[in-house]
Structure 1
Amino acid sequence: MKNDTSTSIHESLVPHYQAIIKNLGEDPQREGLVDTPVRAAKAMEFLTQGYRQDLDTLVNGAVFTSDTDELVIVKDIELYSMCEHHLLPFIGKCHIGYLPKGKVLGLSKFARITDMFARRLQIQELLTKQIAEAVQEVTGAAGVAVVVEARHLCMMMRGVEKQNSMMRTSVMLGQLRESATTRQEFLKLID
Structure 2
Amino acid sequence: MYLPHAMFSIKADLDNKVKSVIGSELLEQYGIEYFRGASTLGALSPDAIHYLLDNGHVFELNKGETLFSYNEPGNSFFVILKGCIQFFKIRENKAKHIRDYQFGQEIGSVAMIGLHNRVGDSVASENCIILQVSCSVFYGLHETLPTDFGILLLNLSREMARRLRESDDKLADHKATDTCEHY
Q: What TM-score results when the alignment is normalised by the length of structure 2?
A: 0.31
Bigger radius of gyration:
1
Higher relative contact order (CA 8 A, sep 6+): 2
Larger % of helix: which?
1
Q: What TM-score results when the alignment is normalised by the length of structure 1?
A: 0.30
